[in-house]
Structure 1
Amino acid sequence: MGRFGKGASSCDDGYASSSGSLSQGGNGRPDYLDHEIAQLTKLRSQPHEFLSRTAPGKLRLPVSTVKMLVGREVNYSGRGRFSAADSCHVLSRYLPVNGPWKVDGMNSRVYTSQFSNDGSFFVAASQESNIKIYNVDKNWKIQKDIETKALRWTITDTSLSPDQRFLVYASICAIVNIVDVGSSARESLANVTEIHKGLDFSADGDEDEFGIFSVKFSTDGQELVAAGSDNFIYVYDLQANKCSLRIPAHKSDVNTVCFADETGHLIFSGSDDSLCKVWDRRCFISKGRANGVLMGHLEGITFIDSRRDGRYFISNGKDQTTKLWDIRKMSSNTTDNSRLRDYDWDYRWMEYPSYARRLKHPHDQSLATYKGHSVLRTLIRCYFSPEYSTAQKYIYTGSSDNSVYIYDLVSGAQVAKLDFHNAPVRDCCWHPIYPMLISSSWDCNIVRWEIPGIGEAPLPKRRTVRARRFFGRALR
């Protein structure tokens, strides 16, 4: 057992913890995920057949790294190198759980964070209108320090363009601002040292009517998709400089939205009405009617992350679960789940009723449900682990209990729990290539977690004397 609660730095001996739980939507089999995505994940992270052979009747265990290296030296594959699946099999067993090491301390709560697509830059945004872009390859040097326009309450979301030239940031208003982060200036003070252009998402120019909770660039960088507190989702055409699509999508706040894949045709959305919806821009059935609906959450959706294959995605819900979905299971009709909710509860300041954790949606269409973390006070985010290093075999999420949780996609086992922060971890981000994970918290700290062998002293544990013994002295 690792030193981070119920976690481990390597999964060579199986799963480090089973305190997380997985339940199958609709088929009643709680032991493992028996679905096509499980087989795809296995194929993308399974070593060459020569190395994974076992004697009849013997338990198949993960192939050791030493055996993998020896097999490569004797050219077992006939190609003289590891295959992509071989590499994933090795890399995905060494989780980024050692540390943490401090990246930076902000002056207010950190709300959002993300790596650029190639991992060379990292963006973090705090409540008091400050966004920092770090150059990861240059020892986390601050590349751009952005002071935004006056905002309502907080920066709700940011998105970096695929070419890493532009950054958009949203707040609780209908204006999304865009900044040229490719300029040479290190400091960007809104409309003083640099222009922060406002993109108006409102229909009549009245920006006071609603706020934007989620905004994302398309893969080609030509469009933005956004989610609003007015129950609409939006698509903004950056070349035409106008909102090209407004859809009355849900019956309550839309908290999260994203493109499903590189084509930009499919859009996933999640709302406080507890529904996930799928929108195909090529074949709208009618204005305001989705191509499909996915039911299963008992409370509002806080975040959606796509597997980027146009088929699978995960969602975090205020019912304290993460769910895995296959859009081929979506339906055209919804059922009212309000009769299941016979309690008065507000996630912003109340604990979730203990008995409510045992409730199940009678028409749950999800493939699997992951439990253990908590989704309270703010819109906690969840993600698939990187394709390059892990074949997306894990999902991970922040938590209002101040931790980061990592679950095995197929078994549902909690393979790591990262404990350091003393306030909710609203966002976290796994490097697309390196075994490195960044957690961003309401305690204003941004810290990184890595695999063993870094060779420098991590930050001390904050909560117990026993933990301090594990972590040693603070990073100076």
Structure 2
Amino acid sequence: MQMGYNISRLTMDDDEPSNHAQPSLNQPSSYMVREMFELDNEIFHITMLKSRPSEGLRQATRSMESNTSTFRMLSGREINSGKNGGFSKADRSCVLGGCLPVNGPHKIDKGSTRAYVSRFSDDGSLLVTAFQGGHIRIYDVEQDWKVHKDILARSMRWTITDTSLSPDQQYLVYSSMSPIVNLVNIDSAATESHANITDIHEGLDFSMHEDVIYAFGIFSVKFSSDGREVLAGSNDDSLYVYDLHANKVSLRLEAHTADVNTVAFADETSHLIFSGSDDSLCKVWDRRCLNQGQVAGVLTGHLEGVTCIDSRGDGRYFISNGKDQTLKLWDIRKMSSNMDRSRIRYSKWDYRYTPYPQQYEFHRHPYDQSLATYRGHAVLRTLIRCYFSPEYSTGKRYIYTGSHDSCVYIYDLVTGAEVAKLDCEISTAVRDCSWHPYYPTLVNCTWDGQVVRWKYVGNSYEDKMEVN
């Protein structure tokens, strides 16, 4: 397990539409050490409690260390030393959290165009991928990755930017650089889904304008937890909520002063919304008390645009990727309403064409409100995504992200250490990646069209997961 930090030396490339070799250091820099000492916060104590052996089992096995061996934990469970009839959730996460999916890459599929999306369904039974050429392929994970649905997109511009499965996994929405988001039933009989030929692809119009000339693109879409609404972020600086029952946009907020690259519901209630933008800000919106579109709070810290936000699901914490080559952790209780001093960016730099200026690599926003900053990966050319690791198998102990240098990086949330770097051995960006919710398996897609998986060596599930 490599505990050093990698500082990216980036290469030049291009990116999405305009409207919108790494030396390893054996010791972290003094700047990084300072950041590591700042990790003494409530979330880190919560994470440790959920991802290390329970107190009862540690006492019973006479080990007060957080890194109790798996053998000792299993021995204690077999003799019921913990007196609880088996492993607690924390015990389980401790054991499974050490089974990192680092063996690979193993090819699942390869498209003829860039792959932009690769996401497991909530139960892990399906994998959704999307390609620039307009194909969306959904694989049956438990049936040797057989194609469950091959969808040819409708009303597509430039690329499929995002997809989202409904909570019941019956419907899929997909977006592109168009104000039309399409809804398709993936439970229909036909494997090949051609828009309005073999399947109906219902167009959800987010434009709210009668003038068809008025057009914008959508970067991010999310189903609400009850499946009644679709949240979207667009390059007209706005976020939208679409009511599927009323079949219309129910909310539009002029949320930022630049492209809204990413949106997320904070928790299952769907009351709180997070948004991130090219204006470098993360914002929080409370739908219960919107007063003329007034923001609930602003979180500053990124020096460049925000490419992705992932909520921890507790309505409090989230992470974000930024074009300043950092991944940040946030607590919304630290947000403020003051935006006058918030935006500091290097306006002459364009992440689509040139490396991040080396002299800015360790700059910090003077009013940074983030809890922690993680570095090593590269955010160039495209809206690189980041996520929390699964609750079931890791207690959300890790955060992981794609990278322009063809790798997936896994960081320890608590220590900030880079615990794994999955090298796809190609020369193109990894835009999206997804950790299976229950098994030690991770999938990522690349800009050369590949969809690959990584697994933990020696797990009993790997034989079922082999690609024929």
Tell me if TM exceeds 0.5.
Answer: yes
Residues 416 and 308 from structure 1, CA distance in 2 versus in 1: closer, same or farther, beyond 3 angstroms? same
Residues 347 and 172 from structure 1, CA distance in 2 versus in 1: closer, same or farther, beyond 3 angstroms? same
TM-superposed deviation, 1:288? 3.3
1:242 aligns with 2:285: no
- Contact 1:228–1:253 (CA<8 Å) still a contact in 2? yes
1:353 aligns with 2:331: no
- Contact 2:276–2:308 (CA<8 Å) still a contact in 1? yes
Match of 1:138 among 123, 130, 143: 143
Distance 1:271 1:22 in 2: 30
**Alignment match, 1:164:** 169
Distance 1:443 1:240 in 2: 40
TM-superposed deviation, 1:347? 0.4
Kindly report structure 1 stretches of 4+ aligned residues shifted beyond 3 Å. 16-24, 50-56, 58-61, 205-208, 335-338, 340-343, 454-458
- Kindly provide the amino acid, as one letter, of the partner of residue 392 in structure 1: K
Match of 1:399 among 392, 400, 403: 403
- Contact 2:61–2:76 (CA<8 Å) still a contact in 1? no
1:363 aligns with 2:359: no
**Aligned pair count?**
445
Residues 66 and 22 from structure 1, CA distance in 2 versus in 1: closer, same or farther, beyond 3 angstroms? farther
Match of 2:300 among 292, 295, 299: 295
**Alignment match, 1:111:** 116
TM-superposed deviation, 1:341? 4.0
Match of 2:227 among 216, 221, 230: 221
Of stretches 186-195 and 162-171 in structure 1, the one that deviates more from structure 2 is: 186-195
- Structure 1 gaps, min length 5: 7-15, 459-474
- Contact 2:155–2:178 (CA<8 Å) still a contact in 1? no
Distance 1:271 1:436 in 2: 31
Distance 2:234 2:346 in 1: 28
Match of 1:441 among 436, 446, 449: 446
**Alignment match, 1:472:** none
**Alignment match, 1:388:** 392
Distance 2:64 2:25 in 1: 19
- Contact 2:264–2:311 (CA<8 Å) still a contact in 1? yes
CA deviation digits over 1:343-395, x for unaligned, max 9? 62100111000011121101000000000000000000000000000000100
Distance 2:29 2:415 in 1: 8
Residues 18 and 261 from structure 1, CA distance in 2 versus in 1: closer, same or farther, beyond 3 angstroms? farther
**Alignment match, 1:127:** 132
Residues 442 and 19 from structure 1, CA distance in 2 versus in 1: closer, same or farther, beyond 3 angstroms? farther
Distance 1:437 1:42 in 2: 22
Residues 72 and 373 from structure 1, CA distance in 2 versus in 1: closer, same or farther, beyond 3 angstroms? same
**Alignment match, 1:92:** 97
Q: What SS does the corresponding residue of 2:173 show, helix, strand or coil?
A: strand
Give the CA RMSD over aligned residues: 2.7
TM-superposed deviation, 1:30? 2.8
1:309 aligns with 2:309: no
- Kindly provide the amino acid, as one letter, of the partner of residue 31 in structure 1: F
Match of 1:260 among 243, 261, 266: 266
**Kindly, what percent of the aligned residue pairs are identical?**
58
**Alignment match, 1:462:** none
- Structure 2 gaps, min length 5: 7-23
**Alignment match, 2:58:** 52
Residues 166 and 342 from structure 1, CA distance in 2 versus in 1: closer, same or farther, beyond 3 angstroms? closer
Distance 1:335 1:401 in 2: 35
Match of 1:379 among 360, 379, 383: 383
Residues 23 and 68 from structure 1, CA distance in 2 versus in 1: closer, same or farther, beyond 3 angstroms? farther
Residues 22 and 34 from structure 1, CA distance in 2 versus in 1: closer, same or farther, beyond 3 angstroms? farther
Q: What SS does the corresponding residue of 1:137 show, helix, strand or coil?
A: coil
Distance 1:451 1:22 in 2: 34
**Alignment match, 1:468:** none
Residues 103 and 426 from structure 1, CA distance in 2 versus in 1: closer, same or farther, beyond 3 angstroms? same
Q: What SS does the corresponding residue of 1:358 show, helix, strand or coil?
A: coil
Distance 1:262 1:21 in 2: 39
Distance 2:158 2:164 in 1: 18
Distance 1:21 1:171 in 2: 41
Residues 214 and 206 from structure 1, CA distance in 2 versus in 1: closer, same or farther, beyond 3 angstroms? farther
